[in-house]
Structure 1
Amino acid sequence: MRKGIDGLATFVQDSFELDPYSDSIFLFSGTSKDRYKYLYFDGDGFARIYKRLDNGRLQWPKNEKEVRNLSQQELRWLLEGLSLQQPRAIPKFTKSVF
C-alpha cells in the first residue's frame, strides 16, 4: 500500500499488461484487507482514492491468480464488504404463456 500514482500505473502496466489510461478502475488492497486504493484515469489525469475501513474487511481475492474484471454490481458489493458471489434475492421475471 506504499505505491503512489506512478507506481500503481506502472504495476498495472507491467504486472498485468493492462492499460492504466483505459476507462477502468484498478483496485488494490493491503494484506490486512481493511484498506484499499483505487486508480482511475479521467481523461486529463489520474485520481487515486485511499480508504481505510474502521469496521470490517473486504472480501478480497487471495492472490494474483484470482484477479478479475468486475461488473458495476460486483464492484459495489465488494466495496460494501459483501461477497462477490451473491445469490439473487428476487428471481428474474420470466414471461409465462397462459
Structure 2
Amino acid sequence: MIVPPTGVRVWLANGHTDMRRGMNGLALQVQEALQRDPHAGDLYVFRGRRGDLVKILWHDGLGMSLYAKRLERGRFLWPSPADGCVAISASQLGYMLDGIDWRNPQRTWRPEMAG
C-alpha cells in the first residue's frame, strides 16, 4: 500500500459492506451513511461479509484511490456494529492489514538466546 501522510485519520466503517462496490459507491456510502466528507484526505476501511477482504478508500488531494487486501487465512478483526464508525491510528491499520489484533498487539515469539 502507498504510505499515507502522517497524521491522517483512519475510519473503520461499522458492519459489513458489499464488496462489489467501487470507489464511487464507497464514497457515496461515506457521505451518506457515515456523514463524512470522502474528499477530506481521511482513509475509510470497509470489510466484506466473510471478513477476509477489506477495501480502503483514500482521497490524497489529487484523486481517489481504492486499495483491497484479502487474507489467505483468518479474518480481519472488526469492531461491533454498535460501536459505529471507529477511528484508529495508521499504525493500528498496519497491524490489521498484517492480520494482527490491532486492539492489543502482542509479540507472539521472542528468541531466548542468540545461537
Paired-residue identity, % = 34
Q: Does 1 or 2 have the higher relative contact order (CA < 8 Å, sep 6+)?
A: 2
Give runs of ≥4 in structure 1 deviating > 4 Å: none
Unaligned runs of 5+ in 2: 1-18, 108-115
Question: Where does residue 58 of structure 2 map in the other structure?
Answer: 40
* TM-score, normalised via structure 2 length: 0.69
* TM-score, normalised via structure 1 length: 0.79
> Aligned-residue CA RMSD in angstroms?
1.8
Unaligned runs of 5+ in 1: 90-98
Q: 2:90 aligns with which of 36, 53, 72?
A: 72
The residue type equivalent to 1:38 in the other structure is I
Residue by residue, what CA displacement relative to the aligned partner does 1:34-59 show, whole Å, maximum 9, x if unpaired?
A: 01100000112110011211122111
The DSSP-based 3-state class of the residue aligned with 1:8 is helix
Q: Which has the higher helix share?
A: 1
Distance 1:87 1:11, change over 3 A: closer
